Amino acid sequence: GYFEQVVRQCRYSSKDLQGIEFIDSYVFNKAEYVRFNSTVGKYVGYTELGVKNAEAWNKGPELAVELGELERFCKHNAAIHY
């Protein structure tokens, strides 16, 4: 069979909300093929398929959604982690 996974994580470096990093990783058969990192501000592909996806997603509405996740997901839940 095949294994597909999406891992979303917030990395908190300090209590200052400016030090939060949101990472959204896409994994197929235990190999990460594309990642969004809020620090970089775009998708980055790691395989041939991942590069193609990253190029398309960086031009489409997917990028705007990911850019909003830092506020909606990470900063909103920061108090729980502290």
pLDDT digits (tens, 9 = 90+) for 9-67: 998 887 777 788 999 999 999 999 999 999 999 999 999 999 999 999 999 999 999 99
Please tell me the distance from the alpha carbon of residue 71 to that of residue 39, in angstroms, as a whole number.
13
pTM summary value: 0.85
Percent helix, strand and coil across the chain, each rounded to 5? Answer: 40, 35, 25
Bridging pattern class, strands 42-45 and 31-37: antiparallel
Residue ranges of domains in the chain, CATH in brackets: 4-79 (3.10.320.10)
SS3 72: helix
Which helix (H) or strand (E) element contains residue 64? helix 61-69
